Amino acid sequence: MSQVIYLAAAVLRDGRMLLVRPAPDAMWELPGGPLLPEHDDVDAGMDAILTAMGLAVPAIEDDFASTVFLPAADGHTVYNLYVPSEWTGEPSLPAGVGAGWFALDEIDAVAMDEAVRNTILEAFGLRDAPDNAGDMLAALNAAMGPEGAPERPASGAGDGLDVLHTLTGRDPEAVREGMRRHYPELADDVVSALGDFWTDPVLDRRTRSLQTVAMLAAMGGKQGPLRSHINGALNHGATPAQLVETLRMVAVYAGFPASLEAWPIMEEVFVERGIPRPGRTP
């Protein structure tokens, strides 16, 4: 399975959004491109893409809006959306690439990938993300345990399922069912905790993933969870360089033995996903 980390910017001017299309018969899309090996991180990658277009964005690190997981035929795309709060310059695009400025209320009628359209509209509060977690939780609760067993509260369940989806890149219902088979008393609490603690906008999911990797590595002996969260960090848009630096910080503040124990797990994940690590020749 392959992974592509894609960076896109919703550039607004006078209430209208810039859309581009690579050919006259192609669908419209946001200006952007894949994260490249020469980019230090996703913020630097987005800045480089916009700079190449002739746009200067002074606070790109504050303009990150959301990350969504988009399934693809041969793997998945980690789609990182930025909404520049301020910018200067005039967009300059390669020959043959079309461009247009569209009002937000026109986006729903523009020919574009439906998943990308939903991501844009949800980011601007023009469309609610689908959330049938309450119904799913009730159905799954009814299917498990003895009749009359008390229902667990669904607080945080919907957001928790979304976090479970972006962390694992898998169907969150299937993941939760697997958790319930192994530790039924805790599974719903885990999902609710994900919703409660991973969705506050003060920290984006990429940052929380890197924090979790650091904490698990520092604790030592947590190979299964550490492997899962290294994969989750990559799914949330973290780069190999950021994971390497995270484990280097673990070495400084939690000790080299902890970092050395975690390092081969990180390397194995890179190999499994076919992701080259900075500083190493394939």
What's the domain count of the chain? 3
Q: Which long-range contacts (CB under 8 A, 24 or more apart) does 223-230 make?
A: 223/265, 226/262, 226/265, 227/265, 227/268, 227/269, 228/167, 228/168, 229/167, 230/265, 230/266, 230/269
Centre a 10 Å sphere on the Cβ of residue 242 and count the other Cβ atoms it contains. Answer: 20
| Residue 278 within any structural domain of the chain | no
SS3 99: strand
| Residue 137 within any structural domain of the chain | no
169 in the same domain as 87: no
76 in the same domain as 35: yes
Angle at the Cα of 38 from the Cα atoms of 23 and 217, rounded to 5 degrees: 120
6 in the same domain as 86: yes
| Residue 142 within any structural domain of the chain | no
223 in the same domain as 157: no
20 in the same domain as 95: yes
162 in the same domain as 54: no
pTM for the model: 0.53
| Residue 131 within any structural domain of the chain | no
What CATH number did the domain enclosing 265 receive? 1.20.1290.10
Report in angstroms the alpha-carbon separations of 26 from 53, 110, 254. 20, 11, 51
| Residue 93 within any structural domain of the chain | yes
113 in the same domain as 160: no
Q: CA-CA distance, 177 to 73, in Å (whole number)? A: 25
Domain limit, last residue, from 123, 158, 180: 123
Residues composing the chain: 282
156 in the same domain as 183: yes
Contact call for residues 11 and 99 (beta carbons, < 8 A): no
193 in the same domain as 106: no
Q: Give me the numbers of helices (H) and strands (E) for the chain, helices first please.
A: 10, 9
SS3 percent helix, strand, coil of the chain, rounded to 5, is 50, 15, 35
What CATH number did the domain enclosing 106 receive? 3.90.79.10
117 in the same domain as 20: yes
Angle at the Cα of 123 from the Cα atoms of 117 and 129, rounded to 5 degrees: 75
| Residue 18 within any structural domain of the chain | yes
Strand order in the sheet with 98-103: 12-13, 16-21, 98-103
Q: Which domain holds residue 162?
A: 150-197
| Residue 132 within any structural domain of the chain | no
Tell me, what DSSP letter sits at residue 264? H
161 in the same domain as 56: no
Query: Can you give the pLDDT at residue 144?
Result: 39
84 in the same domain as 22: yes
| Residue 13 within any structural domain of the chain | yes
Q: What is the pLDDT along the chain (282 residues), one digit of tens a residue?
A: 467 889 999 999 999 999 999 998 899 999 999 988 888 788 899 999 999 999 999 999 888 888 777 777 666 788 889 999 999 999 999 888 999 999 999 999 999 999 899 889 988 888 775 443 443 344 334 333 344 433 433 434 568 888 888 888 777 888 888 778 777 778 888 888 888 888 888 889 999 999 999 999 998 867 778 988 999 999 998 999 999 999 999 999 999 989 999 999 999 888 888 887 666 544
Dihedral sign from CA coordinates of 197, 199, 203, 207: positive
